Amino acid sequence: MTTKKLYLESIEAAYLKEFTAKVIAIDEKKIILDQTLFYPLGGGQNWDLGTLNGPNGAMNVIEVRGRDAIHHTVEDIFDLSVGDEVTGKIDFERRYAHMKMHTAQHLVSGIAYEMFDGVRTVGNQIHTEQSRIDFKPIQFNEEMLTRLQNTVNDKIQQGLEVTDSEMTRTEINAIMPEERTNMDLLPSFINDLRVVSIGNQEDLCPCAGTHVRNISEIGGIEFIGKKSKGKGTQRVTYKLNI
């Protein structure tokens, strides 16, 4: 059982707000659809919220999870059957915040790699108000973070386009080092990947998240905290300045 992920069809698809789909399975308050715009928890990015409007009313979507089959958990499920058609509407304010935050994470990670001797991004969490990136190996001081913040914000002002494409591992590795794209952390049997690029390979990274079409939409970033996570790992928290 598989749900078609409409949000992955293009960068532009991330801007869509409504869709129609058919119910293919129901498990208590979890609804599986044949296709969806709702982004499930994954890749460090939080899930979308919104509503599913069925034959007997609108149901609030409070959690979205899954990889192949996407489970939409609703607050209350009304009389709904397999085969019914529903209209989904995502909370676009939340989605758009995630799009900007996630694109900012790519930009920060790529620039940090170049500025600080190949420091790697080893984790991230994307939320609406603030997000975080775990870097290793590094210990940032305030001067380093200020330089990184200024460089990222200068780049945002250049208004570079964000694009996506399908590439093989070999094609990606010919452009970017494996440790920069974290290619070496992906299962070896995965060969064809969706790749998100900023500008002319300013950053290039396999990713199934949602992103803005131009980095100027981010507005700007501000680092608001840092914390040691042990063993040379440091967590940096940031917010967006619109």
- DSSP string computed for 175-229: TS-HHHHTGGGS-TT--EEEEEEETTTTEEEE--S---SBGGGG--EEEEEEEEE
Query: 175-191, pLDDT tens digit by residue?
Result: 888 878 887 777 777 88
Does residue 189 share a domain with residue 217?
A: yes
CA 50 – CA 62 distance, rounded (Å)? 7
CA 56 – CA 167 distance, rounded (Å)? 43
Does residue 48 share a domain with residue 9?
A: yes
Question: What's the whole-model pTM score?
Answer: 0.94
Q: Which domain holds residue 22?
A: 4-90
| Residue that is last in its domain, among 90, 120, 155 | 90
For residue 196, give both structure tokens. 């998100």
Query: 116-164, pLDDT tens digit by residue?
Result: 999 999 999 999 999 999 999 999 999 999 999 999 999 999 999 999 9
Does residue 220 share a domain with residue 108?
A: yes
* 58 beta partners: 53
Does residue 163 share a domain with residue 49?
A: no
Does residue 174 share a domain with residue 105?
A: yes
* Confidence at residue 178, expressed as pLDDT on a 0 to 100 scale: 82
8 Å CB contact between 61 and 52: yes
Please list the ranges in the chain whose pLDDT falls under 50: none
